[in-house]
Amino acid sequence: MESALFSGLQGLFLGIANLSLGQVIMILVGSALLYLGIKKGYEPLLLVPIGFGAILVNIPLAEMMEKDGFLRFFYDTGVLTEVFPLLIFIGIGAMTDFQPLLENPKIILLGAAGQFGIFLTLLLALAVGFDKLDAVAVAIIGACDGPTAIYVSSKFAPHLLGAISVAAYSYMSLVPLIQPPIMRLLTTDRERKIVMGLVRQPVSKTTKILFPIVVTIFASILAPKGAPLIGTVMLGNLMKESGVVDRLKSASENEIANIVTLLLGLCIGATMEADRFLRAQTLLILGLGFVAISLDTAVGVLFGKLMCFLTGGKINPLIGAAGISAFPMSARVVQVEGQKYNKKNYLLMHAMSANAGGQIGSVIAAAVMLSVLQGMGIIGG
Amino acid sequence: MDTWTFGWTLALIGMGGTMLVLWILSLLILLIKKLFPYRPEEPAAKKG
C-alpha cells in the first residue's frame, strides 16, 4: 500500500521532473505571444492560438505532437496537406474588395514592386547559409501575407513553419512601425506633398464578376503551381461579387475562416517545440523577415518614385509602400504619413488600390516562384 | 545547379515574372472594363 501511494504521488511529479530549461523558455515565449495578442492587440486572432499551442506542445510528457496526439492530428490533416491556408484564402477572397484596383488598374504594378523583397531576401538567405528550399520558405515572409507564408513553408520547409509564421504575423502587425521611417528616408518633402486627384471610375458588376475568373484562368495557366493559391482567393472573391451564393460567402468569411484560423494557429504553435525552435536559425529567420518587409517597402516606394517621374509628378511615391499585402493596414499608414506633410492630401483610395494590388501580387509572386522552381527541377511536377 | 545560379535565376525571373503577370493583368482589367463599361442605371458599386 505504501509503495502504491508513493508511486502514485511520483506520477504527479513526473511532469516537473521532465521539464527542461528549453521547455520553460518556450512556455515563456508562448506567454509572450499571448501577451502581445491579448494586451497589445497584435494579430490576436493568430497570436492567441499560436501562443497557446506553443505552451501546450512544450508541456512535458503531454505528447500532443507525437503520433496520435491531439495537435498532430490537426497538423497532419490541415497543415501538411496545405488545406488550412487554402481554406483561409477562400475567406480572404470573400472579404476583399478589389474595386479600388479595378478603378485604377495601372496601380497594380506597385503590388508587383512590393513583392521584390521576397526575391532579394532569398539571396540574403542563401548568403547566410540556408539551403535552397529553406531560403525560399524564409524569403516568402516578404509576401507579408500569413497564409502564403504558411502554404509555402509547410510545402518546402515544415521544420521552419513555426519561426516563419511567427515572423510573418508579427511583422505584419508591426507594419505601422516598420514602414514610415523607410518612406521618409526614400522620398523628398516635395514628393510627399504631391496631391493625387480623385480617381472615381465606377466599375460594372460584370467586370467585378469576370475579374476573379479571368485572373484565375490567366495567372494559373502562366504559373500552374500557384493555381491553388490563386484559385482559392479568386473563388472567394467570385462568391462575393456574384451575389448569388451569400450563404457560402458568409460561411467562408465567418465559420470556416474562424475554425481554420483557430486550428491553424494551434498547429503553428505546436511546431514551436523547444528543441526545434530554440536555435540561432530562428533568430536569423526573424531578422531576415524584418529585412524582407523593409525591402518590400523600399522597392515599392522607389517604384512609386519611378511612376511619379514617368507621369510627370502625378503619383505620390508614398503609395508605393502600400504595394505589400498587409491589407488595409499599409494603406492606412500611407494615408496617415501623407497627411503629416499635406493636411489636404487624401491618399487612402490610391493606397487601397496599391494595397489590393499587393494582395494579388503576393499570391502571384508565390505562384511565379513555385512555377520557376518547378521549371528548374528543384520541386516535382 | 550551384546556389548562386539558383538564387539569381529565381530572383530575376521571379521579379520579372511577377511584374509581367501583373502588367498583363492590368491590361486585361482595362479590356474587360472597355467591353463591359459601367452604365449609370446600374446600382452604384458598393464600397467595402
What does the pLDDT look like over A200-216, one tens digit per residue?
A: 678 999 999 999 999 99
Question: Rounded mean pLDDT of A33-37?
Answer: 93
Q: Which sign, positive or negative, has the C-alpha torsion A235, A240, A246, A250? A: positive
Question: Rounded mean pLDDT of A16-26?
Answer: 93
Higher-pLDDT residue of A138, A345:
A138
The candidate with the shortest Cα–Cα distance to A277, out of A160, A151, A373, A148, is A160
Residue numbers of the domain that contains A180: 20-374
Question: Rounded mean pLDDT of A91-108?
Answer: 91
What is the pLDDT at residue A199?
67
pLDDT at residue A373 greater than cutoff 50: yes
**CA A264 from chain center: how many Å?**
13
CA–CA distance from A359 to each of A18, A169, A362, A363, B17 (Å)?
45, 15, 5, 7, 16
* Residue A380 counted as domain residue: no
Average pLDDT over all residues of chain A: 92
Give the gap in angstroms from C-alpha A289 to the nearest C-alpha of chain B.
17
Q: Do B6 and A211 touch (CB under 8 A)?
A: no
Residues in chain B closer than 8 A to A106 (CB atoms):
26
Would you place residue B44 in the very low, low, confident or very high pLDDT band (cuts 50, 70, 90)? low
For chain B, give every domain's residue range. 3-35
pLDDT tens digits for A299-333?
A: 999 999 999 999 999 999 999 999 998 888 899 99
* Residue A14 counted as domain residue: no
* Residue A5 counted as domain residue: no
* Residue A15 counted as domain residue: no
pLDDT at residue B46 greater than cutoff 90: no
Q: Which of residues 15-44 of B touch A (CB under 8 A)?
A: 15, 17-19, 21-30, 32-33, 36-39, 42, 44
Would you place residue A67 in the very low, low, confident or very high pLDDT band (cuts 50, 70, 90)? confident
How many CA atoms within 13 Å lie on the side-chain side of A16?
5
Q: How many domains does chain A have?
A: 1
CA distance A311 to A41: 40
pLDDT tens digits for A256-270?
A: 999 999 999 999 999
* Residue A2 counted as domain residue: no
CA distance A157 to A146: 15
Residues in chain B closer than 8 A to A111 (CB atoms):
22
Q: Which of B4, B14, B37 is facing A365, going by the closest CB pair?
A: B14
pTM here is 0.87
CA–CA distance from A259 to each of A12, A53, A57, A82, B41 (Å)?
34, 15, 20, 15, 41
Question: Rounded mean pLDDT of A102-121?
Answer: 93
Q: Do A109 and B26 touch (CB under 8 A)?
A: yes
What is the pLDDT at residue B48?
45
